[in-house]
Structure 1
């Protein structure tokens, strides 16, 4: 995360599910050690089911929101292993066993939140298990060789054996799930590819009401990069593209080591702010010419936040950006993930002019990804289960889709 997001205030659409107060619900999440996109999904589920119990491998209560902390949080035996709060990912091979040891008897509904091991719980017969998937574990599947190349020597030696067994368990445990929800079409394709299961698309909740446009006179002459400065997000492409063109760029995000390395190659038209408070992040989102987003993300919350701020997005045409950016209406998509591809997209944006992107259209589009739409998507999925009657989901349901103005 570039900066800590404020905890969203509960809104009318986030009231507990009608008819669901008597249900006993378990929410299973991989680990609770910060507040990123996955934890925002858990937060929204907590508002839907305020009496739910939460199961996770490890929890750092100082790093989670009050909304999550108010729930009964139960951890697996992984949390009792040495330095588990810091080294939890080292215990990945033990997590399947830990999940299968959880006793979920007595629950009416189980919802797992999957990006690390979470879906592998054993649910009693007759109890619906809904899995919200942020992504199948990338370090086991499509990005295995990338992670392996960047690992230390001992980890590289151990990965082939461990990953092989974990993949077997991952596919087997996918068969236990009754229905999958994917946060984007990109992730749904991964679920189909690796687990051979279909998934309903339910975009994650974005706190769009936290952002707003500013008057045109306050828009600056700089572009914006915001996010974690890691290699797969391709900050190298952005720095080189703006070095060549001489256009102004503001870079928000860390870690500090990555900032220092990029600074050494950047010209003085590029400003690095590092990690910033949320208000500073909002300020730049609303005042940039456009966000540049050259990485391939599972979903990508930052582009939606920028559009909610009334500003367009220039994004690589892969991954979650295909769900969030409408080419020519809310931004521009470019198919070539290279310095030349990004420069070409920026030149196309400059030729069209910033006025070609109406802030009202951008904000309206961003609202398609608010918590009300997430909630409706979850309810639509639950309507197909044996709990539909108890949840009061028998009647017609509002569509989660909305046309652009």
Structure 2
């Protein structure tokens, strides 16, 4: 049985690529199809697979400008030849699910989110763009939405990375989905004793507008409490200029530094609305509570009053009150770590396998029904789940 994995682009190792790694472990012989790849920026677990790029990779400076070629990606996906593959798993956040699957194949889409820049965050991205980009978005987004919704019919089963994303799939594609939380390497983090915990709060993530690092810096500028910010992005220099002496903007850091600060912070601050949000789970795997905006994926990972505190408005006042409340709660590091363990890679692989097996069984049942109606069985091909797992 031949398996193809379609991923939007391979230019770094973020949450989507961690999901891809786990899927690669489930299907060690699978081929990977993507728009563009930067080989030195991906892990050996992914690089060991055969990787095929779309024509986007041949366009000028594609490794840097790949997002500028978004309007061409539907066409590029439809040129990918997947004849001969029996199972296709698309990893969707940028365009990936819009391939043309062979008639006999099963297509499972693991959806991190319907494309944010044309759906739920379209107006945010558009208002933050320059004049030319805004004009281009107005022109192309309508076409991309129609294509994106239409191509959802090419998927046999959607798997969402959270209930939050599942509701978006229902809203924009009118499809139901399984929910399988992304894998987190919960065993990679350390826990320290209470006496080793520092006197600072921590924010981790890409410093872009919707993640609301500006809100956190403003709140700590006002309170005078210590804050460390780890991450790079377009707002890095602006935040450094704006931060007062009690706020340290470290920029991007290696995992060892991140791991150290996770374990020793008073709490992680998570002010944005995310599809799922792996960072809070990493902090909880380190035994530390999370103070998070109470919308999106954080509501599915943070238990208010047990593993952290949720606040309801993205304002400095609401964040300040949440920090004050967190300081009155005696959190149990043991309970927090135990909760984080429920988001492990093994749990992801087990649940993802279950969803794929169901899609294969349903496809086999449909194919068998057609074959019974056509006793000659001409051209019939049934893919049985047991052949993927050695059953």
The TM-score, its normalising length taken from structure 1, stands at: 0.88
> In structure 2, the residue corresponding to 1:264 is in which secondary structure?
helix
- Aligned partner (choices 110, 132, 151) of residue 154 of structure 1: 132
Q: How many residues align?
A: 368
CA–CA distance in 2 between the matches of 1:329 and 1:373? 22
* Offset at residue 267 of structure 1 (A): 2.3
Q: Which residue in 2 is equivalent to 1:237? A: 215
Q: Does 1:390 pair with 2:368?
A: no
The gaps in structure 2 that reach 5 residues or longer are 362-383
Cα 1:164–1:109 shift into 2, 3 Å: same
Q: Deviations over 1:39-97 (max 9, x none)?
A: 11111111111100000111111111111111110111111112111111111111111
Relative distance call for 1:265 and 1:60 in structure 2 (3 A) is closer
Contact kept? 1:57, 1:79, Cα under 8 Å:
yes
Partner residue in 2 for 1:367: 341
1:338 and 2:338 are equivalent in the alignment: no
| Higher RCO (CA < 8 A, seq sep 6+) | 1
Distance in 1 of aligned mates of 2:75 and 2:94: 14
1:400: which partner in 2?
A: none
Displacement over 6 Å in runs of 4+: none
After superposition, residues 1-400 of structure 1 pair within 5 angstroms as: 23-255=1-233, 258-352=235-329, 356-384=330-358, 385-386=360-361, 387-392=384-389
Offset from partner CA, 1:117-145 (integer Å, 9 cap, x none): 10001111221100000111011011111
5+ residue gaps, structure 1, are 1-22, 395-405
Asked if structure 1 preserves the Cα contact closer than 8 Å seen for 2:209 and 2:235, the reply is no
- With over 3 angstroms needed to count, the CA separation of the structure-2 counterparts of 1:133 and 1:271, relative to structure 1, is same
Q: Deviations over 1:225-257 (max 9, x none)?
A: 1111111111121112112222111111123x6
| Equivalent pair of 2:161/2:179 in contact (CA under 8 Å) | yes
C-alpha separation in 2, matches of 1:228 and 1:250: 14
CA-to-aligned-CA distance 1:277-326 (integer Å, 9 cap, x gap) = 21111111000010011110111111111000010000000011011101
SS of residue in 2 equivalent to 1:68: helix
8 Å contact 2:239–2:249 — kept in the other structure?
no
Provide the C-alpha distance between the structure 2 equivalents of 1:59 and 1:68, rounded to a whole number of angstroms: 11
Deviation, structure 1 residue 393: 9.3
Aligned counterpart, 2:370: none
Maintained 8 Å contact 1:379/1:393? no
The more displaced of 234-243 and 70-79 is 234-243
How far apart are 1:199 and its partner, in Å?
1.2
| TM-score, length of structure 2 as denominator length | 0.91
Matched position secondary structure for 2:235:
helix
The CA RMSD measured in Å over matched residues stands at: 1.4
Give the CA deviation at 1:365.
0.9
Distance in 1 separating the partners of 2:26 and 2:308: 33
**Aligned partners of 2:139, 2:77: CA distance in 1, in Å?**
21
Q: Would you say the 8 A contact 1:304–1:366 is kept in 2?
A: yes
Query: How many angstroms apart in 2 are the aligned matches of 1:368 and 1:264?
Result: 39
Aligned to 2:376: none
CA contact (8 A) 1:225 1:249 kept: yes
Q: Is the 8 A contact 2:290 2:302 kept in 1?
A: yes
Q: For residues 196 and 75 of structure 1, what CA distance do their matches in structure 2 show?
A: 30
